[in-house]
Amino acid sequence: MPKPASITYEQVADACKNLLTDGKKPTCQAVAAVLQTTASMATVHKMVSRWKTENVPAATPIEEISVTPELAALMARYRQEADHIARSTVSEEMQLQKQDQESLVSELEKAEQLNETLTAEIERLKADLAAAQAHAENITEILSIVREQKAATAAATKTIVDTIKKQELKPETITDTIKETIMTIFSTPLEKNPTPQPVTKTTVKR
C-alpha cells in the first residue's frame, strides 16, 4: 500500500498525542514514522512546531515563582556565605601572589648583589694577575741583565788575570787596571734594576 503524500494538521496532532502517551518525544521523524507519510520533512516540521506551540505549556519565568520569606532568607544567607568564601579565596590567592612576588624580588636582588661581588672579585683578580705578570717580566729582565753583568765580569776578570800573567806589573798598576775594568763594566746605569753593590777593592799579589 503506497504511503500518503499529504497529511493534515489533525493527523500530526493525533500522532504527537499518541507519542506522548507512549512516553516518547513527538519529533518530526517520529511523527513521520507513525503516519507513514512521504510528505516532506519541512511540512511535518511545520505542523509539529504548531502543535508544540499550542499544547506544550511555556516554562514559568523565575520571577513568577513564589518564594516564601523563609526560603528567601535562606537563599540570601547562602548567597552571603558564597560571596564571603569567594572574597576570602580571592584575598588568599592575592596574598600568596604578593608573597611570591616579594620572594622573587628578594631573590633577584640577592642575585644582583652576588653578581656585583663576583664582578668586583674578577676585576681584582685581573689587576693582581696583570701586576704579577708585570713583576715577572721585570724580574726576567733583571735576571737577564744580571747574567750579562756576570758574563762581562767573568770576561773582565779573565782579561785581567791574563794581563797579569803576561806582563810584569807593579801592585799599584794592577790595582788601577782592575779599577778601570770594573768602572767600564758598571759605567752604564741600569733601568728597572736595583743599585749594584759596591765592589770591594782587591789587591793582587805577585
Q: Would 21 be classed as within a structural domain? A: yes
pLDDT at 14 over 90: yes
What would the grid cell of residue 156 be? 773582565
Taking only the tens place, the pLDDT of each residue in 16-64 is: 999 999 999 999 999 989 988 888 889 999 999 999 998 866 554 555 5
Q: Would 1 be classed as within a structural domain? A: no
Whether residue 177 contacts residue 160, with contact meaning beta carbons closer than 8 Å, is answered with: yes
pLDDT at 181: 62
Number of domains in the chain: 1
Residue whose cell numbers read 705578570: 133
Q: Would 142 be classed as within a structural domain? A: no
Whether residue 161 contacts residue 206, with contact meaning beta carbons closer than 8 Å, is answered with: no
Q: Would 140 be classed as within a structural domain? A: no
Tell me which H or E stretch contains 131. Answer: helix 69-166
pLDDT at 154: 85
Q: Would 159 be classed as within a structural domain? A: no
Residue whose cell numbers read 560571596: 83
Residue 15, SS3 per DSSP: helix
pLDDT at 10: 92
Q: Residue 13: give the domain boundaries.
A: 9-56
Q: Would 88 be classed as within a structural domain? A: no
Q: Would 187 be classed as within a structural domain? A: no
| CA end-to-end distance (rounded Å), the chain | 163
pLDDT at 90: 85
pTM: 0.32
DSSP conformational letter for 20: H
Q: Would 20 be classed as within a structural domain? A: yes
DSSP conformational letter for 92: H
pLDDT at 156: 78
Q: What does 40-56 look like in DSSP terms, one character per residue? A: -HHHHHHHHHHHHHHHS
